[in-house]
Amino acid sequence: MTEIDTTGTSSNNASNGRHLAGVPLIDVEQLDPQVRRRLQAKIDRLGYLGDFFQLAAHQPEALAAFIDYTDATKKALPDDLAEVVALTVATLTGNDYERNQHERLSINLGLTMDWVETIERLNPESTALTLEQRATQRWVLAVLPDYGHGSESAVDELVRTLGPRDAIAVALMCGRYVAHATIANSFGIQPPVASIFSEPITP
């Protein structure tokens, strides 16, 4: 990856005056150029830069790699399976920051509100889901509670149903969303948008 010049990218550049857990958030205009280049399309599409990126911008090289990692795993999977992973991890970990955004992204991708609700109820046995979606959600639900221990049958189903390449893409993507949830929940990052549902979906 291209080396990133981190000169001047520090808490001194947090010009918006906002903090999370004592950490100043770095304004869009103060982002490292390589980070901003990676995020500009997202900023243009959404009209805002989420607090996660303003927080993580204190480590621009790591953040740039995180963005590249995210993009690579998304490109490796069909949209519906990527959203199964994102919504399942976000729901299970209580990460409303990602949950709310991925609800909207799912709708924009052509998935339905009923489909999103089914995923958030964490019921992989639903006949509303495809075999691939069910295997993906079963695996995520199997590995998160005990960090992958005892998940052999779910792994076997995932690989048989999706094939090795997509199964590994699901695993890598799951790790990405677990990492995000850990940071978002620990630092108290609030969702930038509301849920598409008037009442929270209870699994």
pLDDT tens digits, residue range 61-90? Answer: 999 999 999 999 999 999 999 999 999 999
User: 117 φ, ψ to 5°?
Assistant: -60, -40
Mean pLDDT of the chain: 92
Summarize pLDDT for 84-97 with one digit per residue, the tens. Answer: 999 999 999 999 99
Summarize pLDDT for 24-37 with one digit per residue, the tens. Answer: 999 999 999 999 99
Domains of the chain plus CATH, in order, are: 11-74 (no CATH), 77-187 (1.20.1290.10)
Note the pTM of the prediction, 2 decimals. 0.90
Q: Is the pLDDT of residue 2 over 60?
A: no
% of the chain surpassing 70 pLDDT = 92
Would you state the pLDDT for residue 96?
96
For residues 129 and 203, give the distance between their C-alpha atoms in angstroms, rounded to a whole number.
Answer: 16
Would you state the pLDDT for residue 16?
66
User: 79 φ, ψ to 5°?
Assistant: -55, -40
Q: Is the pLDDT of residue 40 over 90?
A: yes
| Spatial CB neighbours of 95, under 8 Å, sequence gap ≥ 6 | 89, 177, 180, 181, 184, 185
Residues 35-55: what's their mean pLDDT? 95
Would you state the pLDDT for residue 164?
98
Q: Is the pLDDT of residue 8 over 80?
A: no
Summarize pLDDT for 128-166 with one digit per residue, the tens. Answer: 999 999 999 999 999 999 999 999 999 999 999 999 999
% of the chain surpassing 90 pLDDT = 88
Q: Classify residue 148 by burial, with Cβ atoms within 10 Å: 0-12, 13-18, 19+.
A: middle
Q: Is the pLDDT of residue 202 over 90?
A: no
Residue that is written with structure tokens 């999977």 in the block = 77
